[in-house]
Chains A and B, each alone.
Chain A
Amino acid sequence: SQQGEEDPQALSIQEGENATMNCSYKTSINNLQWYRQNSGRGLVHLILIRSNEREKHSGRLRVTLDTSKKSSSLLITASRAADTASYFCARPSGSGTYKYIFGTGTRLKVLA
């Protein structure tokens, strides 16, 4: 499968705790993106990290990229009930294309 693989598949934490989700892929990439999907809604873009970047921040989100290990992680700090959603990583299937391959997703549940 060309899909990115996220783990864990599901994660349940208490409000205020940090949540870490991981994404692995198989081929070289020039960028990797993370999206959030609330139940019954479309995906919302969170962060794009390029292959020459190791870490990127956006508010309570931190994304890391390790191209040598072909993996990325998304950290949500001080989680809130509103962070409950599915999180997906996405990467282009090749160079010069906008055909993105989405991972299987991590279902995050933040308990109040």
Chain B
Amino acid sequence: DAGVIQSPRHEVTEMGQEVTLRCKPISGHDYLFWYRQTMMRGLELLIYFNNNVPIDDSGMPEDRFSAKMPNASFSTLKIQPSEPRDSAVYFCASMYGTDTQYFGPGTRLTVL
């Protein structure tokens, strides 16, 4: 099993640009989570899906952030427009009904 796959692994962009992060969960998992990790705020849950449906998006910082899960094997997190304070490592995780989340390697985003 390849585990959770995230792309890109690193992204450097300029303020105001659109950024799209991608995640492929483990096959068969029915939950998908997006997290953001920074030194200041630690690991924060942004949004999670169950069977492709967003369940809790209360952690999404503002309207500049949006997430979609068009099918069971793909999800995106989009930031438009990006700002320097969005710089962080973004993790995707998936789970199948056991409370055990499997994390991807993360995308390190730098917004200049």
Whether the Cβ atoms of A44 and B56 lie closer than 8 Å is no
- Considering only CB atoms and an 8 Å cut-off, how many residues of chain B contact the other chain? 24
Whole-angstrom distance between the Cβ of A23 and the nearest chain B Cβ: 13
Give chain A residues whose Cβ lies under 8 Å from the Cβ of B48: 98-99
A71 at the binding interface (Cβ < 8 Å): no
Whether the Cβ atoms of A102 and B4 lie closer than 8 Å is no
B interface secondary structure, majority: strand
Whether the Cβ atoms of A102 and B43 lie closer than 8 Å is yes
Give chain B residues whose Cβ lies under 8 Å from the Cβ of A105: 42
Chain A interface category by residue count: 10 to 19
CA distance A1 to B93 in the complex (A): 23
Whether the Cβ atoms of B43 and A88 lie closer than 8 Å is yes
Whether the Cβ atoms of A99 and B56 lie closer than 8 Å is yes
CB < 8 Å neighbour of A44 from B31, B42, B103: B103
CB < 8 Å neighbour of B31 from A3, A45, A48, A98: A98
B25 at the binding interface (Cβ < 8 Å): no
Q: A42-B104, A88-B43, A98-B31 are in contact. Are A31 and B91 (CB under 8 A)?
A: no
B65 at the binding interface (Cβ < 8 Å): no
CA distance A97 to B106 in the complex (A): 23
Most interface-central of B42, B43, B55, B105 (chain A CB within 10 A) = B43
Considering only residues 36-75 of chain A, those with a C-beta below 8 Å from chain B are 41-45, 48
Give chain B residues whose Cβ lies under 8 Å from the Cβ of A103: 42
Whether the Cβ atoms of B42 and A45 lie closer than 8 Å is no
CA distance A106 to B101 in the complex (A): 19
Q: Name the residue of chain B whose CB is nearest to the CB of A105.
A: B42
Whether the Cβ atoms of B45 and A41 lie closer than 8 Å is no
Most interface-central of A33, A42, A44, A100 (chain B CB within 10 A) = A42
A104 at the binding interface (Cβ < 8 Å): yes
Whole-angstrom distance between the Cβ of A95 and the nearest chain B Cβ: 13
B63 at the binding interface (Cβ < 8 Å): no
What 6 A-B pairs have minimum CB-CB distances, sorted nearest first?
Answer: A42-B103, A102-B43, A43-B103, A45-B100, A99-B56, A42-B105
